[in-house]
Chains A and B, each alone.
Chain A
Amino acid sequence: MAVTYTFPLNLKSAHIDLSHGGGGRAMAQLIDELFIKHFDNDLLRQHNDQALFRVPAGRMVISTDGHVISPLFFPGGDIGSLAVHGTLNDVAMSGAKPLFLAAGFILEEGLPLADLEKIVISMAAAAKAAGTPIITGDTKVVERGKGDGVFITTTGIGSVPDGVTISGDRAKPGHAIILSGSIGDHGVAIMASRENLQFTTSILSDSAALHGLVAELVTALPSEIHCLRDPTRGGLATALNELARQSGVGMLIDEASIPVKAEVKAACEILGLDPLYVANEGKLVCICSADAAEQLLAIMRAHPLGQDAAIIGSVIDDPHGFVQMTTAFGGRRIVDWPVGEQLPRIC
């Protein structure tokens, strides 16, 4: 039976207040008129504290990711779409087909309902486009000053096709390293939109769900793909170092082959950042058998999210586990783990 409330949610000018997390009617109304309305699916509409579903035979994966980002809205996306894409990608990096999502919201007192609505609509659209409904969730409200507007944690589950075994510890010397597109777009878009770093660029975040691309890769050559990783926080350099450590190998990459947009390069120059360490939200690194590299590259390039894909190097034998790079300049250097946060240069 549909519940009705005396007044509809005032989405134009009202703000989140503590009653929205209190478990009473205000919270129920928020859930009904905002979350359920937009996420809209049968499981949510049952109003249970959990969602019940059948699982397919075979192996499942689960992944969870907390999203905190300032500003909440940035060129090319917002925290809502990011929270969907981030978790879908973590699930997809196992080769899995994502099935369902769950979402937990921590809302700060004072958050404009209009902003929350925008975020929820964006999340709903991202989940719908990906074919992965948000089937359960939770909302909490914290006092003003104890949150950054909104934090969103999403959890995703998916099923891994038979014959696919993808894991960070499977890279072997001789394997090829493919990158699905240009690096640094997301991090630079975020930094450019932060108020205290005022310079304008036309760069958009690359935030996108990669499971469609992954599906095409694993369908074509299920046993040739050994590692997949999305180079998010810490950028490509961190992703490669993680894989090298997990697999106990070294890597040799070629700087000239790594796609970086001219605007991203320029912004990094100004900020004193190295694009190798800047975050991405819609790119993947694929480590595959050398023989399969060209075919996988062609599949990526035919996909809208992999048009700029490139083979950027190969896995090598190295007891130190170094990621090395032939610089575009012609020398060689190490690409190390990042230290702390990448801070803009000061002098």
Chain B
Amino acid sequence: MKYISEFRQHDLAKHLAQAIAKTVDPNRHYRLMEFCGGHTHAIFRYGVQDLMPDNVEFIHGPGCPVCVLPTGRIDNAIQLVEQHDVILCTYADLMRVPATGRNNLLKAKAAGADIRMLYSTQDALKIARDNPQRQVVFFAIGFETTTPPTAVAIKQAQAEGLQNFSVFCNHVLTPAAMQAILDAPQPVAIDAFLGPSHVSTIIGSRPYEAFADRYRKPIVIAGFEPLDVMQSALMLICQLNQGRHEVENEYSRAVTRDGNQKAQALTSEVLALRDSFEWRGLGLIANSALKIRAEYAEFDAEQRFEMPAIQASDVKGCECPAILRGAKKPQDCKLLGTVCTPENPMGSCMVSSEGACAAYWSYGRLR
């Protein structure tokens, strides 16, 4: 574990800060979108902004799986437990995401719904094995990092002939979100991207090359340690100064150009592209999410149970959609800290510790 503390060393940070200060062009402004909640969290938790010159601005991106899940999908999950009496298995992060009518999974559980918080898909399989007379649904969310375990669980369920296990699949794809941000009708001014690290261990850095080319935006695959964030910012600043727009890999200790092809093959064996999927903040995005392939339809909760698409609206005044697009910052929301706090979140960005509002409120509000 020495490794991790080394990556937080103060001296290295000071050197990097000096290098950045020397490199920036004082006559311009740098708007860097950190794509992932992991980056956002590191920036606030370690006070990275304090080590940056004033003309380098971080814009928080949509890379927080809990944050981008639309309210309707939580409503779906609550209906599933309440109407079909299933055991719903979910990660703890999702429990407090607001659903319609001031509801959430935590409240549904308190009111008697059988919702279990777990740490891995394997726990969900075990619950299914232990409760053969009950239907067990795993509420799957996440970007490409969490997709392979879901695929494995489905294959395993098939191999074991587990007939009471299914997956409510909400896996989404990173490149599609990046594209949506760049293609938005009123695109936010972004000069460059700190690209996903964990996701890129799976998909590699190649998928970003088209963006760097077509939109002429530098992208640096950036780890989640605060030093990674600073080093990547420096690499982006250099590219911008030199007029380059390439995909560079700061996180080369774990990411290759082609990623983990075994995991990719496994995923595409079980999961296929959805025509379109709703993202909180970004709206409907074509080819942006995964569904379970027809060959595995019996493990698809959306096919096993009746699950109508639900159009739900967010809490009035909540700026999560604009924040997830990078158009606003947490401090622009009037509900921040008054009505909306981590204890009582009104929007998804206040729920996950990787959400911009939670990170700002918990660590950064002294600025």
CA distance A346 to B226 in the complex (A): 21
A347 interfacial by beta-carbon distance below 8 Å: yes
B364 within 8 A of A: yes
Majority secondary structure of chain B interface residues (helix, strand, loop or mixed): helix
Given contacts A327-B46, A329-B226, contact A334 B362 (CB under 8 A): yes
| B-chain residues with CB within 8 Å of residue A322 when the two chains form the complex | 365-366
Minimum CB–CB distance for B77 against chain A, Å? 16
Cα–Cα distance between A333 and B142 once the two chains are bound (Å): 28
Looking at the complex, which of B3-11, B213-221, B252-260 is the stretch in contact with chain A? Answer: B3-11
> A324–B366 contact, CB under 8 A?
yes
Q: Is there contact, CB below 8 Å, between B1 and A269?
A: yes
Q: Which of B1-40 contact A (CB under 8 A)?
A: 1-2, 4-5, 8, 10, 13-14, 17
Instruction: Name B198's closest neighbour in chain A (CB-CB).
Output: A347
Is the beta-carbon distance between B49 and A331 smaller than 8 angstroms? yes
B92 near A333: Cβ-Cβ < 8 Å: no
Q: Give the interface segment out of A22-30, A186-194, A299-307, A336-344.
A: A336-344
Q: A334–B4 contact, CB under 8 A?
A: no
Smallest Cβ-Cβ distance to B226: which chain A residue: A329
Q: Smallest CB–CB gap between B193 and chain A, Å?
A: 22
Contacting residue for B343 out of A320, A328, A339, A346, CB 8 A:
A339
| Chain A residue at smallest Cβ distance from B145 | A347
Q: Beyond A269-B1, A324-B366, A346-B93, is A330–B51 a contact (Cβ under 8 Å)? A: yes
Contact B47 A347 (CB under 8 A): no
Counting CB contacts under 8 A, is B342 at the interface? yes
Q: How far is B9's CA from A256's CA once the two chains are assembled, in angstroms?
A: 10
Asked if B44 lies at the interface with its beta carbon under 8 angstroms from chain A, I say: yes
Asked if B365 and A330 make an inter-chain contact with CB atoms under 8 angstroms apart, the answer reads no
Identify which of A266, A269, A332 gathers the most chain B CB atoms within 10 Å of its CB. Answer: A332
Name B326-367 residues within 8 Å CB distance of A.
342-343, 361-366
A57 interface residue per 8 A CB criterion: no
Q: Which of B39-69 contact A (CB under 8 A)?
A: 44-51, 65
The interface centre, meaning the residue of A269, A327, A336 with most chain B CB atoms within 10 A of its CB, is A327
A265 / chain B contacts, CB cutoff of 8 Å: 1, 5
A331 touches B1 (CB 8 A): no
- Does A55 interact with chain B (Cβ within 8 Å)? no
Q: How far is the CA of A343 from the CA of B91 in the complex (A)?
A: 11
With A269-B1, A331-B47 as known contacts, state yes or no: A347 contacts B366, CB within 8 Å: no
Q: Are B119 and A344 in contact (CB under 8 A)?
A: yes
For the complex, give the distance between the alpha carbons of A332 and B44 in Å: 8
List residues of chain A with CB within 8 A of the CB of B142: 347
State the total of A-B contacts with C-beta under 8 angstroms. Answer: 80
Asked if residues A346 and B91 are in contact (CB atoms below 8 Å), the reply is yes
B293-310 at interface with A (beta carbon < 8 Å): none
Q: In chain B, what residue has the closest Cβ to A263? A: B1
Contact with B along A304-333 (1 / 0, CB 8 A): 000000000000000010101011111111
Kindly provide the distance from the CB of B347 to the nearest chain A CB, expressed in whole angstroms.
Answer: 15
Per the bound structure, the CA–CA distance linking A343 and B92 in Å amounts to: 8
B146: Cβ under 8 A from any A Cβ: yes
Contacts of A346 in B (CB 8 A): 91-93, 118-119
Q: Looking at the complex, which one of A256, A329, A339 makes contact with B47 (CB distance below 8 Å)?
A: A329
Taking CB as reference atom, which chain B residue is nearest A266? B1
B residues in contact with A347, CB < 8 Å: 65, 91, 93, 142, 145-146
Which residue of chain B has its CB nearest to the CB of A322?
A: B366
- Size band of the B side of the interface? 35 or more
A262 at the interface (CB under 8 A from B): yes
Closest chain B residue to A347, Cβ basis: B146
Pairwise interchain contact B364-A334, C-beta atoms closer than 8 A: yes
SS class of chain A's interface: helix, strand, loop or mixed?
Answer: loop
Residues of the A chain whose Cβ atoms lie less than 8 Å from the Cβ of B51: 329-331
Cα distance, A320 to B65, chains bound together (Å): 32
Contact A262 B1, beta carbon cutoff 8 Å: yes
> Which of the residues B4, B50, B342 comes within 8 Å of A331, measured between beta carbons?
B50
Q: Are A334 and B365 in contact (CB under 8 A)?
A: yes
From A256, A336, A344, B10 is in contact (CB under 8 Å) with: A256
CB pair A339 B342 closer than 8 Å: yes
Given the known interface contacts A347-B145, A347-B146, the answer about A333 and B363 at a Cβ–Cβ threshold of 8 Å is: yes
Q: Is the CB of B13 within 8 A of A329?
A: yes
Contact B48 A331 (CB under 8 A): yes
CB proximity of B254 to chain A, nearest CB, Å: 16
Contacts of A320 in B (CB 8 A): 366
Asked whether B47 lies within 8 Å of A330 as measured between CB atoms, the reply is yes
Given the complex, which residues of A lie within 8 Å of B8, measured CB to CB? 328-329
Please, how many angstroms separate the alpha-carbon atoms of A152 and B92 in the complex? 30
Residues of chain B with a CB closer than 8 A to A333's CB: 44-47, 363-364, 366
| CB-contact partner of A334 in B5, B49, B363, under 8 A | B363
A78-108 CB mask vs B (1 if < 8 Å, else 0) is: 0000000000000000000000000000000
Specify which chain B residues have a CB less than 8 angstroms from the CB of A324 in the assembled complex: 366
Partner of B50, one of A256, A266, A330, A340: A330
Report chain B residues within 8 Å CB of A330: 10, 13-14, 17, 47, 50-51
Q: Mark B142-160, 1 if CB is under 8 A from A, else 0.
A: 1001100000000000000
One of A266, A269, A331, A339 near B46 (C-beta < 8 A):
A331
User: What is the CB-to-nearest-CB distance from B120 to chain A, in angstroms, rounded to a whole number?
Assistant: 8
Provide the bound-state CA to CA distance between A346 and B354, in Å: 12
Instruction: Please indicate the chain A residues that have their CB under 8 angstroms from the CB of B2 in the complex.
Output: 262
Beyond A330-B47, A331-B47, 16 extra complex contacts between A and B, CB < 8 Å: A265-B5, A322-B366, A328-B8, A329-B13, A329-B47, A330-B17, A330-B51, A333-B366, A334-B362, A336-B361, A336-B362, A336-B363, A339-B342, A343-B117, A346-B92, A347-B142
Question: Can you sample 12 A-B contacts with CB below 8 Å?
Answer: A256-B10, A262-B1, A262-B2, A265-B5, A329-B48, A330-B17, A330-B51, A333-B44, A334-B365, A336-B361, A336-B363, A339-B343
Q: Which residues from chain B sit less than 8 Å from chain A, CB to CB? A: 1-2, 4-5, 8, 10, 13-14, 17, 44-51, 65, 91-93, 117-119, 142, 145-146, 226-227, 342-343, 361-366
